[in-house]
Structure 1
């Protein structure tokens, strides 16, 4: 399979896309919090995979770590481009104010609120910790696979993930509490009970338990 991909076999590359495109898409959604943008990321990842196909090695039984490494790089590039774009917008004159209904929308969509809190908390981690966490927890890569994707030792993956879990737990709780304080209190029927705090970041396996 790897030999066929390196040789540019369209059938092999089609199979690669069919088997791994959803994993790439889900990882991009979780990291960026933007479904439409994540679809663009997925497209770029497989264009890059085609361009870099000769670099696919034979280690392991799956090309998934190789693809996830490309995904990490594409997300890095998009984040840098977004920062440059934001800086350029900041230098422009401010437009006339318009009504903003974002708080009301977020108040009605608990899952979206949790995703935003997780994304905000992740943004406060060091980049290395953030990438290891998203690959191991959200994408479900093993320590060796994450190490291969990022080009770092397995021991570094373990230590970064441990630090990331500790910091992220506190940061996500803080983000959710802040969002709760800023959100208008919704109207509730008599006897309605508010749910408890949700954990903002879990692996696929944890959600299905």
Structure 2
């Protein structure tokens, strides 16, 4: 800033700003940005917010440069008044935002599917172990298990399907259950 420019009052500078002189506006900014920032910092206590609002105040001054009338040779009163209004607007907006968030419905409880998935995987592992175990049974016992357990037939219907006596089906089923009692745990151990 030259000596001559420093001697200019805010009112003289603002006449130049009003017609779009950016250099004059930069001089006004240099003169008063610290005071505006300090004012906002004391009111808010947050450096970042004070910087943001200081920028907003000077943006408003530039936008309204043709309307602004300076009283008593200083633009600072207008800038501080604009800072107060800008801060009030920011606080109102924050209050509206918080009220909106408070009214917003809570997100739905999202169940944890991990237990369900783990149970399903465990069931699939046990079913595969059972299938392999049934596959290791002698053919005549495997057929009874397949017809009665997997096919849903009762023992009498299985006897008819196999062409054997009901007692034979009962004996084969008994032996198959006993063998599966040892085969299934063996197959499950193989999976670990």
Q: TM-score when scaled to structure 2?
A: 0.46
Q: TM-score when scaled to structure 1?
A: 0.42
Quick check: which has more Rg, 1 or 2? 2
Please state which structure has a larger fraction of its residues in helix.
2
The structure, 1 or 2, with the larger RCO (C-alpha pairs under 8 Å, 6+ apart) is 1
